[in-house]
Amino acid sequence: MANRFYTIMIIPENSSRARQIHIPAWLLRAAMVILPVLVLIAFTLFLDYRFVANQVYENRELQSENRRLRQNVQLYQNRMEALEASLDRIENFSARLKMITNLMDQDQLSQHIELPPPNAAANLSFASKQLETPIEQTLPRKEDQNFERLSLKSLTLEQNLHDLYELLSDQKSFLNALPTKKPAEGYFTNGFGVRLSPLGDGVEKMHEGVDVANVVGTPIRSPALATVLYAGRKSGYGQIVILDHGYGLETWYGHTSRILVKAGQKVKRGQTIALMGNSGQSTGSHLHYEVRVQGIPVDPLAYILEN
Ligand SMILES: [Zn+2]
């Protein structure tokens, strides 16, 4: 049994010589045991390889999806920031309007003001441009809706406020009297409130207006309809113009180089009343601008409605 051979004969078609291969029986038996084991191992390795390759592919997919999501989150954050900026501007604008309307007779106001129906996104250049771009489809649906709702709300609010302002603008006599324009081109160099004295003596003083700096000769324009109350010299202020706007409102213009109006004269909003200069107690060419309500200086910036 142990010395048995199996013989395989190979007989080619065009040759007379046949070939014989002797295989010991034990080898054949061993092969019958080992071969299936080898096949099994190869098959297992193949499956394992398929699994790993699949994992690598999935990993790559996940990475790119992750990148997309991160970009979307960034986009979302940018939009939220734009929205926040828009809401800030609305808040600022409404605070000013509120302060201004508080000056008006409340009964008169309620007779005339009815909030217009929401009519969003008409002419709101900045905010709408920021928000119009379509939101990525991959953004979570709920957040998407929240965001859209918030955007619309903010735009509606802004539109309402603008409409309200337009309506208030129709109250001509009152609104024409409000100093809502910046009286001269230039930089605000000194705000309203307690400041160190400009003379450099270290003394703190109440600065009762704002300073707008520009070159000598820059036109100073009336920010509202008014009557000239005073035009001439005044201690500390140099050559000054004082305008009376009615409703207890006065505006003062100090340090001018030239006065172009006379006391008693009526001036329109935007009319040049004087030229900027350096007269009186001044350290350089600028306009010292004050707004007084019933004789008390208030922050003029609170009235300026333009940027
Ligand atoms: Zn000043």
User: For residue range 266-299, what is the model confidence (pLDDT) as tens digits?
Assistant: 999 999 999 999 999 888 999 999 999 989 999 9
pLDDT at residue 102 in the model: 61
pLDDT at residue 140 in the model: 61
Dihedral Cα 33, 37, 38, 44, nearest 10 deg = 170
How far, in Å, is the centroid of ligand 1 from the Cα of 254? Answer: 8
How far, in Å, is the centroid of ligand 1 from the Cα of 195? Answer: 10
pLDDT at residue 2 in the model: 52
What span, in angstroms and rounded, lies between the C-alpha atoms of 252 and 298? 12
> Tokens standing for 11?
């007989």
How far, in Å, is the centroid of ligand 1 from the Cα of 220? Answer: 15
How far, in Å, is the centroid of ligand 1 from the Cα of 93? Answer: 25
pTM score:
0.53
pLDDT at residue 142 in the model: 65
How far, in Å, is the centroid of ligand 1 from the Cα of 302? Answer: 16
**Ligand 1 being an ion, which residues bring their Cβ within 5 A of it?**
211, 288
Under 8 Å between Cβ of 252 and 236: no
What span, in angstroms and rounded, lies between the C-alpha atoms of 60 and 65? 9
How far, in Å, is the centroid of ligand 1 from the Cα of 32? Answer: 107
How far, in Å, is the centroid of ligand 1 from the Cα of 148? Answer: 46
How far, in Å, is the centroid of ligand 1 from the Cα of 236? Answer: 10
Topology of domain 187-302 in CATH is Glucose Permease (Domain IIA) (2.70.70)
pLDDT at residue 21 in the model: 85
Residues of the chain with pLDDT under 70: 1-3, 98, 100-143, 167-172, 197-200, 307
For 33, list phi and psi in degrees, rounded to 5.
Answer: -85, -45
Residue in 239, 238, 248, 242 with CA at minimum distance from that of residue 174? 248
How far, in Å, is the centroid of ligand 1 from the Cα of 239? Answer: 13
Give domain limits for the chain.
Answer: 66-175, 187-302
How far, in Å, is the centroid of ligand 1 from the Cα of 278? Answer: 11
What span, in angstroms and rounded, lies between the C-alpha atoms of 244 and 262? 13
What span, in angstroms and rounded, lies between the C-alpha atoms of 259 and 230? 11
pLDDT at residue 305 in the model: 81
How far, in Å, is the centroid of ligand 1 from the Cα of 213? Answer: 10
CA dihedral over 53, 57, 63, 66, signed as positive or negative = negative
How far, in Å, is the centroid of ligand 1 from the Cα of 224? Answer: 20
R_g of the chain, CA atoms, integer Å: 43
